[in-house]
Chain A
Amino acid sequence: MASPAITAEREHYLNTDYGIRSWLFTTDHKRIALLYLVTITLFFFIGGFFALLIRLELLTPAGDLVQADTYNKLFTMHGQVMVFFFLIPSIPAVLGNFLIPMMVGAKDLAFPRINLLSWYVLVVAGILMLHCIITGGADTGWTFYTPFSTAFSNTKVIEAGLAIFIAGFSSILTGLNFVVTIHRMRAPGLTWSRLPLFVWSMYATSIIQLLGTPVLAITLLLVVFERAFNLGIFDPTRGGDPLLFQHLFWFYSHPAVYIMILPSMGVVSEIIPCFSRKRVFGYSAVALSSIAIAVFGFLVWAHHMFVAGISLYSAMIFSILSYLVAVPSAIKVFNWTATMFKGSLRFNTPMLYAVGFIGLFTMGGLTGLFLAALGIDVHVTDTYFVIAHFHYIMVGGAVMGYLGGLHYWWPKISGRMYPEWLGKFAALTVFLGFNLTFFPQFILGYLGMPRRYWQYPPEFQVLNVFSTAGSTILAVGYVLPMIYFLWSMRYGKVADANPWGAAGLEWKTASPPPTSNFEETPVVTWEAYNYDEIPAPEEVPVAG
């Protein structure tokens, strides 16, 4: 059943103005969010394409699809694109941009033009990255370790480094906007303890973006200078210390993983109470644990360097700190579970993603503790165990949270419902494909298969074949939402303001919202997640 196109009666942010200029020069945070959505989806497919090539090569033990040098470029570009041009911007720049002003009851972010600037900065960085990729790419791994990157690699290290350097500014500007908005633009009555947990998560994320990204920026700049001017800061033959690079790099890149996971945790904190029809268990604990993750996350970076040559004593310190940082994450998992306990559970697509997140993130997080133990890390570092660990968190966690959030807020963003049965099917496909891809990699790593190798001993082949098979299923699971989201914009069931019966200011305005978000500034007199007061929707919304 086709519904009429959105251009019916009411004016909202999508139909208020047409033409490419109205999009490219917009300062409306909702439109900027969609600009970001298009951009990062493009990069998701590029990074995914490299992943498929990697998995294709690893179908057979021999290095028979590409040459070794090419393989090095494949995993490098996969990592760089996925981390810096998809994961880091994803939820903050898409969902954060779209929702934060509405969630705090504001018309827009604190600095709308800086918001638009941050998108353009990412686009410029992205173009530079694309050019780098097309003209050969870098082969240093996304980690740019010296002195290989500075003195030995003969690939496009400078260009890749500069692209990521520029992308970092986009991240910083986004974080700056969010911090100022959350501090200064909350609606009357909206105290910190009434804020949605998504906002708390985004605040914590923004702190990390602001304090960590500059260090990555200077580090990459030093690598670029060293390479361009033959400096020697990281060259051991000239008195430099390669580990200095690693300290500086991981000082950002470890908190970066919390930039990637905290927003997803925020999404889950919104979805779970809605589809359990219950308040969040332990609101304060969840809110404060977001801040704790942001703070503690900065204290653990050298656990990426246990075997690199740091002193044993500092390794012990970082190992203990790494155990501590798991605690606030565990608190969240307990609280989400407790929220679901005796709740009136409905398993719509967003809930499937959220529950999947909890399971997969827990596995990823726990295997992080394996790695934090010095004795174990010596054996599994730089093996597929590490790769499985971080993909469980990044893909099983962050991406599932992102997809869950997209589905949950899609009615608000587009005014349409996505097809529910297809949504569920895609979610299950993603879950199945994901586990088939990455669980075997835990085993492979434990058995000793090193990472970043383009060929491997034949005894590892069976598990690699499972993994590659899983990746094709996963790819299908990712492509499906692209298709049905687009489909829904024209043919999806028209959504009303609050199809899920959810709590939160964003659901009190129309779907899609007017450009100024609210007809008049809301005054908040209720606590967050007041599901005891909000009636559940009569029926589970499904597209006709």
Chain B
Amino acid sequence: MSEHISSSKLYVGIWATLMVLTVLTASVAFIDLGPFNTVVALVIATCKALLVVLFFMHVKYASEKLTKMVIISAVFWLLILLFLSLADYSTRAIGHA
């Protein structure tokens, strides 16, 4: 982690953005977007998570590539668990009634 010191204004700005996104995601849930409700919700959640990771957790200013590697690896591994398992669940019905 670098010793870069962010400005308090930046932190408050990120905070405000997060609050807006929270209200947004809660409100959009009440609008019928069909299957896109889930997509929108997850996209907003990921944006919020990224803001926390990059700014509150200083990853944007991290001089260490390793930190980013650790995060990306963990997320990637989680996706392996989710997607390869889904490969089973989503294909079970093929060939069956």
Contact = CB atoms under 8 A, between A and B. Distances in A.
A298 B77 contact: yes
Contacts of B81: 215, 251
Interface string A298-341: 11011000000011111001100000000000000000000000
Nearest to A247: B85
B87 A313 contact: yes
Contacts of A251: 81, 85
A318 B85 CA distance: 11
Contact of B92 (A211, A247, A311): A311
Interface in B32-75: 66, 73-74
Given A183-B66, A311-B94, A312-B95, A302 B77 contact: no
Contacts of B89: 311
Contacts of B1: none
B80 to A, nearest CB: 6
Given A247-B88, A311-B88, A211 B74 contact: yes
Contacts of B87: 311, 313-314, 317
Contacts of A183: 66
Interface in A182-221: 183, 211, 215
B91 A314 contact: yes
A247 B92 CA distance: 14
B80 A298 contact: yes
B68 to A, nearest CB: 14
A310 B84 CA distance: 12
Given A211-B73, A247-B85, A299 B80 contact: yes
A104 B12 CA distance: 44
B66 A299 contact: no
A211 B73 CA distance: 9
Contacts of A311: 87-89, 91-92, 94
Contact of A313 (B66, B77, B94): B94
B93 to A, nearest CB: 8
A313 B92 CA distance: 8
Q: Of A183, A310, A318, which is in contact with the most chain B CB atoms at under 10 Å from its CB?
A: A310
Interface in A135-149: none
Contacts of B85: 247, 251
A211 B91 CA distance: 26
Contacts of B77: 211, 298
Given A183-B66, A311-B94, A302 B73 contact: no
B50 to A, nearest CB: 21
Contacts of A302: 84, 88
10 contacts: A211-B77, A299-B84, A302-B88, A310-B92, A311-B87, A311-B94, A312-B94, A313-B94, A314-B87, A314-B88
Closest 10 CB pairs of A and B: A314-B88, A311-B91, A313-B91, A311-B92, A310-B88, A314-B87, A211-B77, A247-B85, A311-B88, A251-B81
